[in-house]
Each structure stands twice: as structure tokens, then as C-alpha cells.
Structure 1
Amino acid sequence: MQPDIEIYVLSCPTENIINWLNQDFEVSGIATNDTGAKLTITYNTAIIPVTILERAAGKRFTSVWFDSAHTPWDNDAECAKQAYEALACEIRCNIQGWQEDSKDDPDLWWRINSHGEGPYIWR
């Protein structure tokens, strides 16, 4: 189990991301600003803080960070797949998940888009 989940969404408005979350979760406490939004979602009995940060990676990628180990996904890739199905926007996430002392290439990511999914070097 990961301590948190984070994905990166290409060229997708914050409003669309919030609408995706509203499909599967009870969303509350939405506070938007010019760089994204902070909100909470409820999954089972867990209340999960979510931060949506526009332009988190370059000008076109938005970070969606679920600050909890109690999400419905076991890893970032599972979340990325669900997000891609709902948003139809390219999604990227860390390929190896969260590991403090990982020796894997930090530029190796998992990418899902209309051409399929697989490993991707993101520099």
C-alpha cells in the first residue's frame, strides 16, 4: 500500500477532474483558486485530502494528489487507468510507485493515452 497517490493529467481543466471525482466519491470542501483546487473526498469511511495543482509539470500537466493511504487504488497506475477512462486525457504517473530508496530511473514513468499505455522516459 502506498502512503499516497499522485497522477499527472495533460491539458485537462480542473473542473473536469472534480467532475470525475464526483462520479465515484462524495466530494466536499472544494476551494478553488487560480492554480487549481483543494478538496476532500470520502471513500468508505476515509476522508481523503486531494490537491489539484495546475502547471505542476510544465505548462500543460496538472497534478492530482490524494494525500492518504486509504484510496481505492493500490498504486498510482491503477488510479491513472481509472482517470484515463473517465477523462480521456493523457495521464502519467510514477512507474514504480512510492519507494524511499528506489534505485530505478527517476525519469521512468507510466503513460496512458489514445495510443495505449506503457513505460515512458519523462525528462
Structure 2
Amino acid sequence: MQPDIEIYLLSCPTERIISWLEQDFSVLDMRKPSDIATKLHLDWNGRDIPVTILEQAAGKRFTSVWFDSEQTPWESDMECAKRAFEALQCEVRCNYQGWQEDGQEDPDLWWRINANGEGPYIWR
């Protein structure tokens, strides 16, 4: 189990991301600490999951969605990314190897899902 989940969405407005989250979660709290950040507390099966949506997280076109909890509906970033792509139909990227205690993963190796399919991707 991962300690958190993070995905990156290409050219996907925050409002659409929130609408997607509302399909599987109840929004307990939402605030906008800045023009590019939205912080939410979501309820999933009685669990409070803090989420940060950060626009322009990787260049101007990518938005990060970070679930700061190990208790999400997904076992991995990749599982979350697949669900996000199904719902939003915008390109999604996530860490290819997931989180590992020893830190031996390649920081440039990502998993990319878009209309052309999915697979490993070197993101620099």
C-alpha cells in the first residue's frame, strides 16, 4: 500500500477534476488558498482524505492531484490514473514504479495514459 497517491492531468480544468472526485467521494470541505491551489477534504467510507489540486505543477499545462492518505480506493498511483483517464478523457501521468522505501526508482520514468493507449514514458 502506498502512503499517498499522486497523478498529473494534462490540460484538465480543476472544476472537471472536482466533478470527477464527487462521483466517488463526498466533499467535506473545500478552500482555495491561492489562484492555482485547491484543498479539499473528501470522505470515502468514513475516512477523511486530504487532497490538494495544484495547477501548473509540472509546466503550465499539468495539474497535480495529490491524495495525502494511504486509505484511498486505489492500491497505486497507476490504478488511480487509469480511473481518472476513464472519467476525464485527458492525458494522465503518474510515477511508474510507485513509492518505494529504498528510493531506487528512476525519477524520470513515468506511466502515461492518453487516447493513444498507455505505457512507460520518460518525462524530463
Partner residue of 2:24? 24
Identity within the alignment, %:
70
By how many angstroms is 1:104 displaced?
2.8
The separation in 2 between residues aligned to 1:112 and 1:6, in whole angstroms, is 14
Partner residue of 1:82? 83
Letter matched to residue 44 of structure 1: N
How high is the TM-score relative to the length of structure 1? Answer: 0.96
Indicate if the aligned counterparts of 1:109 and 1:121 stay in contact, CA closer than 8 A.
yes
Unaligned runs of 5+ in 2: none
The separation in 2 between residues aligned to 1:24 and 1:71, in whole angstroms, is 10
By how many angstroms is 1:103 displaced?
2.1
Report the RMSD for the aligned CA atoms in angstroms.
Answer: 0.9
**How many residue pairs are counted as aligned between the two chains?**
123
Indicate if the aligned counterparts of 1:14 and 1:36 stay in contact, CA closer than 8 A.
no
Partner residue of 2:60? 59
The separation in 2 between residues aligned to 1:98 and 1:120, in whole angstroms, is 17
Unaligned runs of 5+ in 1: none
Alignment of 1:83-98 (within 5 A): 83-98=84-99
Partner residue of 1:12? 12
How high is the TM-score relative to the length of structure 2? Answer: 0.96
